[in-house]
Amino acid sequence: MAVVASKSQLLLLCLLSIGIALASAATLFTLQNQCSYTVWPGTITGNGPPLGGGGFALTPGGSVLVEAPVGWSGRFWGRTGCSFDASGVGTCVTGDCPGGLKCTGGGATPTTLVEFTVAAPNVDGKDFYDVSLVDGYNLPVEVVVTGPSRTGDCNNTDCRADINAICPPELRVTDNSSQVVACKSACEQFKEPKYCCTGDFSKPETCPPTDYSKIFKQACPKAYSYAYDDATSTFTCTGADYQITFCPANS
């Protein structure tokens, strides 16, 4: 004898199917530390829930998995030289942020940034991602696309070079021992429109690469070196997961 499901049962099955579909559409980010020192990843969300509580510690060789829902956008970056007490109060030498261990706002520059928009609804569900040096640099980073269901171009991107080693003297940030720990952007250092792409320089046609941004671009060809560096620095993929590595091998 055939069994006919009630409307309430059908509704429940429909809701369960939707829930399973949404769960399977979540994007997984694996953050791993291959540096010889502890890195404290910071996260800030532009759209959606905060990931990883806003920040956490990664000892050398450590990794953490965080999950982002469809439509999430935000940034990851690595903080260095941090000191936090048991309640998470403290500061970092580079990449510091409001909130202590668990960032409640964007990190201080200069910092190497990894930026994502997951399954953007206005562009056929594509992920957009990049490594950005627009706000300067503090440590090498690599983004590797993973997952069996990915489609599209899905290129990896990175800034593997040690830009601190080639940073011009006027852009250097040093710690208490005079070691170079970060490299400022020319915009941050000089605050001039020609370096910040503002005012009369607010369009691609009027804001070409500068001698400073060319240093970043030559060292890290796939990364954003200044505001209008889209053509060679923004990448897309659909249905992927991502591995973000601080101090990738051979960097």
Average pLDDT, the chain: 90
The predicted pLDDT at position 120 comes to 64
The predicted pLDDT at position 22 comes to 39
Q: Are 114 and 129 in contact (CB under 8 A)?
A: yes
For the segment(s) 28-162+220-246, the CATH number from 2.60.110.10, 2.60.40.4070, 3.40.50.620, 1.10.3720.10 is: 2.60.110.10
Share of the chain above pLDDT 90, in %: 83
Find, among 144, 140, 154, the residue nearest to 238 by Cα. 154
How many CB atoms are closer than 10 A to CB 101?
21
The helix (H) or strand (E) run that includes residue 244 is: strand 241-246
Take residue 205 and report the two structure tokens written for it. Answer: 């046609």
Helix %, strand %, coil % of the chain (to 5):
20, 30, 45
How far apart are the C-alpha atoms of 37 and 155, rounded to whole Å? 28
The predicted pLDDT at position 78 comes to 98
Return the residue matching tokens 């510690």.
57
pLDDT over threshold 60, residue 24? no
Q: Are 22 and 71 in contact (CB under 8 A)?
A: no
The predicted pLDDT at position 121 comes to 62
When pLDDT is averaged across residues 133-138 and rounded to a whole number, the result is 97
pLDDT confidence band for 127 (50 / 70 / 90): very high
Q: What is the per-residue pLDDT across 137-162, written as a single tens digit (0 to 9) for each?
A: 999 999 999 998 899 999 999 999 99
How far apart are the C-alpha atoms of 99 and 87, rounded to whole Å? 11
Q: What is the per-residue pLDDT across 29-88, written as a single tens digit (0 to 9) for each?
A: 999 999 999 999 999 999 999 999 999 999 999 999 999 999 999 999 999 999 999 999
The predicted pLDDT at position 157 comes to 98
CA distances (Å), origin 207, targets 82, 107, 215, 221: 36, 26, 16, 18
* Domain range annotation of the chain: 28-162+220-246
